[in-house]
């Protein structure tokens, strides 16, 4: 996996909330493997730590997909996408 979007899409999304134009949150498990994947796309460790949930079980990656992954869109069916799907 060398494509940043592929790396993001390889992480299992536990929960997300979006309204069709805004992604409010996108949670993945707080694991060493997921942290390594995030650092591999350029997310600094300190920034990852800032987005770990209060219960320490998940990481909100909603901003990382856009800021570091090159995504323009996210949806629950297709994951992180380079552009919004055309209807």
What are 9-57's pLDDT values in tens digits?
Answer: 999 999 999 987 899 999 999 999 999 999 999 999 999 999 999 999 9
d(CA 20, CA 26): 14
What is the pTM (predicted TM-score) of this model? 0.92
- DSSP alpha helices (H): ranges in the chain? 4-9, 32-40, 45-50, 62-67
Q: Is the pLDDT of residue 67 over 90?
A: yes
Give the confidence band of 87 by pLDDT, cuts at 50, 70, 90. Answer: low
- Domain ranges, ordered by start, for the chain: 4-81
């Amino acid at each position: 996996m060398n494509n940043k979007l592929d790396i993001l899409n390889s992480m299992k999304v536990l929960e997300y909330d979006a309204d069709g134009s805004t992604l409010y949150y996108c949670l993945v498990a707080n694991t060493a493997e997921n942290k390594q994947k995030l650092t591999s796309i350029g997310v600094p460790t300190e920034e990852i730590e800032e987005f770990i949930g209060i219960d320490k079980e998940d990481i909100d990656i909603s901003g990382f997909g856009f800021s570091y992954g090159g995504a323009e869109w996210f949806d629950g069916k297709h994951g992180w996408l380079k552009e919004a799907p055309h209807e």
